Amino acid sequence: MRILLVDDEVELADSLDRALSREGYAVDVAYDGAAGDALATRNSYDLLILDWMLPHKSGLEICQGLRSRQNCTPILFLTAKDTLDDRVEGLDAGADDYLVKPFELRELLARVRALLRRPPMADAVNPNRLQVADLELDCEGQLAYRGNRAIELSEKESRLLEYLMRHPGQLLTHGEIHRHLWGETDKPSSNVLAAQIRLLRRKIEISGEVPLIHTVYGKGYRFGE
């Protein structure tokens, strides 16, 4: 599970980073609102933990911006703003939970676990149709669309592309993709995934189009412009 933590109290942020990492979460940290908003927009996260009062851009503005773009990633506000009006304003802006500073670490971790147990809400409007950059995918129909082209996909190609598109900008390791496509028991030879990526690239990236599947040598693949 990947978490973005945005808080300008450096000592607190670093302490929470260590605590969350000990729990097994992958944590990115930003110390101001502009940097946090850039990370939240560029990467795919399972949870955002936002301070409200941040330099350059408030946590409330980050939350409102993400929700206006139909980003449904769970958001937990972590803030010293403790009035009932503050709580209502934060929740109305799209936050999923609200924890007032100072707080107990055990309670924060419990709230994190509760939010991560919720079913994902991304793509709730049409969960079977995805778009990244100028590429669209109809998951049920196994069809992709780019420019004026309709692209027919095999079942494996469609599942691979769907997995990549649901994690834009994120490094997906060879192991993660293998487990998604073939499970834990069926272990294909090491070059099968590379062959699948090659076939998919030929279909969705023709001459003159911006490449979307990027190889991170020795690690895996990243999807996006």
Within 10 Å of residue 32's Cβ, how many Cβ atoms? 15
Q: 102 is in which domain, residue-wise?
A: 2-117
Q: Is the pLDDT of residue 123 over 50?
A: no
Q: Is pLDDT above 60 for 124?
A: no
Q: Could you tell me if 103 and 133 lie in one domain?
A: no
Task: Provide the number of structural domains found in the chain.
Answer: 2
If asked whether residues 7 and 82 sit together in one domain, one would say yes
Tell me the average pLDDT of the chain: 87
Indicate whether 80 belongs to any domain: yes
Q: What is the pLDDT of residue 126?
A: 53
C-alpha dihedral (120, 198, 186, 140), degrees to nearest 10: 40
Q: Are residues 6 and 112 in the same domain?
A: yes
CATH of residue 34's domain is: 3.40.50.2300
In a domain, 188, yes or no: yes
What count of other Cβ atoms lies within 10 Å of the Cβ of residue 117? Answer: 8
Flag whether pLDDT at 193 surpasses 80: yes
If asked whether residues 208 and 145 sit together in one domain, one would say yes
Is it the case that residue 9 has pLDDT exceeding 50? Answer: yes
pLDDT computed for residue 92 by the predictor:
85
- pLDDT, residue 121, reads 52
DSSP calls for 71-112: ----EEEEES--SHHHHHHHHHTT-SEEEESS--HHHHHHHH
pLDDT at 70 over 60: yes
* 7 and 95 together in one domain: yes
Residue 215: the pLDDT is 94
Pinpoint the alpha helices (H) of the chain: 10-22, 33-42, 59-68, 84-92, 105-117, 155-165, 174-182, 191-204
Q: What is the pTM of this model?
A: 0.54
* Structural domain includes residue 73: yes
**Percentage, residues of the chain above pLDDT 70:** 92
Mark whether 103 and 134 lie in a shared domain.
Answer: no
What CATH number is given to the structural domain containing 189? Answer: 1.10.10.10
Whether 122 shows a pLDDT value over 50: the answer reads: no
Q: Is residue 168 part of a domain?
A: yes
pLDDT top residue among 59 and 122: 59
Residue ending a domain, among 92, 117, 142, is 117
